[in-house]
């Protein structure tokens, strides 16, 4: 994976399909304990948004590689006092070996990457969540032995998670269907990019029909109906999104062996019912664990430890 050394991951599209597959395979090997690279480097976490899984999984991954983590909480750094991001980037570039940034505007991520020479990882923006999609793809691979040829339906808001799933599935040859209410479709530019990546290998579909979207699929995926920063819209969205709830009736439309995925946190009784997330089809906890494994593989690759 030396080809990834020193590079940024701002979007899954920054990787080739082969490189995505290599990261997933390395993550699987590291999870199994057959490969154990060491990397005594320093990871900085610059998070403008709340986080549980991303913060903890990146921290544990770096510690397991033998490195250290610095939590760069904006509230206790000069960022909170208006220091320009390009200045922060150039200074942290002198101290750190890699940085993961979780923010709202993807332009902030791009600015940091432009002014820092160290690898910059997108730990979530309003546009994309590539590390989550890598964990999702690894979970599909574990459950079905492959990603290529499977079919995944994402039901709910056409948000950052949906965007990265569209790209990741298309890159690895998985059919992907995204079902949203009208007005909440994924970014059309990303849909077009996913279709170009898919070519003739697989299908990329955007629809408003959740029942048709999940018909005989291998995986049903959902996320909260109002992402961080959209909480004020939650009550207005409820009636629009109710037909997109992942419940027993919707699950019955999928394959008998279908798995259910959710990137968490979950609002039981809203986008997913308690019986489904706690049921036998749920792979949500494996999916959450896999955040750590794919990020450890990604860190090791970007830092040249493998």
Q: Where are the domains of the chain?
A: 2-128+290-302, 132-287
The class (CATH top level) of 132-287 is alpha beta
Cα separation, 137 vs 172, whole angstroms: 9
Question: Running DSSP on this structure, what letter comes out for residue 289?
Answer: H
CB 271 within 8 A of CB 244: yes
Is 177 annotated as catalytic?
no
- Summarize the chain as % helix, strand, coil (round to 5): 50, 15, 40
Closest CA to 176 of 148, 139, 157, 138: 148
Give the CATH class of 2-128+290-302: alpha beta
Longest CA–CA separation in the chain, Å: 54
Q: Please give the pLDDT value at position 227.
A: 80
Q: Is 132 a catalytic residue?
A: yes
Q: Active-site residue among 129, 177, 237, 262?
A: 129
**CB of 39 closer than 8 Å to CB of 305:** yes
Query: How many whole angstroms separate alpha carbon 147 and alpha carbon 274?
Result: 27
Residue 129 annotated as catalytic: yes
Q: What is the pLDDT of residue 45?
A: 98
The per-residue pLDDT for 235 is 85
Question: Distance between CA atoms of 296 and 41, rounded to whole angstroms?
Answer: 12
Phi-psi region of 282 (alpha: psi -120 to 50; beta: other; left: phi over 0): beta
Q: Which of 8, 39, 132, 218 is catalytic?
A: 132
Contact 12, 167 (CB under 8 A): yes
Among candidate residues 64, 263, 283, 293, the one labeled active-site is 263
Can you list the pairs that 15-23 forms with residues at least 24 positions away whose Cβ atoms lie under 8 Å? 15/171, 16/171, 17/171, 17/172, 17/197, 20/134, 20/137, 20/168, 20/171, 20/172, 21/172, 22/301, 23/134, 23/294, 23/297, 23/298, 23/301
Angle 277-151-245 from CA coordinates, rounded to 5°:
35
Whether 263 is catalytic is yes
Tell me, yes or no, if 202 is annotated catalytic. no
Q: What pLDDT score was predicted for residue 1?
A: 67
Q: What pLDDT, on the 0 to 100 scale, is given for residue 221?
A: 98
Segments of the chain with pLDDT less than 50 = none
Q: What is the dihedral of CA 232, 177, 134, 119, to 10 degrees?
A: -70
Measured CA angle at 273 (ends 267, 277), to 5 deg: 85
> Which of 131, 202, 223, 262 is flagged as catalytic?
223
Distance CA 173, CA 266 (A): 28
pLDDT at 84: 94
The two domains 2-128+290-302 and 132-287 share their CATH topology (first three levels equal): yes
At residue 43, the 3 state secondary structure works out as: strand
List the one residue out of 164, 140, 286 whose CA is nearest residue 217: 140
Edge-to-edge strand order for the sheet containing 42-47?
68-71, 42-47, 98-102, 120-122
- Return the pLDDT at 76: 84
- Residue 215 catalytic? no
């Amino acid at each position: 994976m030396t080809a990834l050394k020193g590079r940024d991951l701002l979007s899954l599209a920054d990787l080739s399909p082969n490189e995505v597959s290599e990261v997933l395979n390395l993550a699987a090997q590291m999870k199994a304990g057959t490969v154990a690279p060491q990397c005594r480097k320093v990871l900085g976490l610059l998070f403008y948004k709340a986080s549980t899984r991303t913060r903890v999984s990146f921290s544990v991954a770096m510690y397991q590689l033998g490195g250290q983590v610095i939590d760069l909480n904006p509230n206790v750094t000069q960022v909170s006092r208006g220091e320009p991001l390009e200045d922060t980037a150039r200074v942290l570039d002198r101290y750190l070996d890699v940085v993961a940034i979780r923010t709202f505007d993807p332009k902030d991520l791009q600015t940091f990457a432009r002014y820092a020479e160290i690898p910059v990882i997108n730990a979530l923006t309003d546009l994309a969540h590539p590390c989550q999609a890598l964990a999702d793809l690894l979970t599909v691979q574990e459950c079905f032995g492959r990603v290529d040829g499977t079919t995944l339906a994402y039901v709910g808001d056409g948000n950052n998670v949906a965007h990265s799933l569209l790209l990741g599935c298309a890159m690895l040859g998985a059919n992907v269907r995204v079902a949203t209410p009208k007005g909440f479709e994924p970014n059309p530019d990303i849909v077009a990019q996913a279709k170009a990546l898919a070519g003739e290998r697989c299908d990329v579909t955007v629809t408003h029909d959740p029942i048709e979207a999940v018909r005989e699929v291998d995986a049903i995926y959902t996320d909260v109906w109002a992402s961080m920063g959209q909480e004020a819209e939650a009550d207005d969205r409820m009636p629009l999104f109710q037909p997109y709830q992942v419940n027993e009736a919707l699950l019955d439309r999928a394959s008998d062996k279908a798995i259910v995925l959710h990137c968490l946190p979950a609002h039981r009784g809203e986008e997913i019912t308690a019986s489904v997330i706690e049921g036998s089809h749920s792979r949500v906890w494996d999916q959450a664990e896999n955040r750590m494994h794919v990020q450890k593989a990604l860190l090791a690759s970007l830092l040249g430890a493998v």
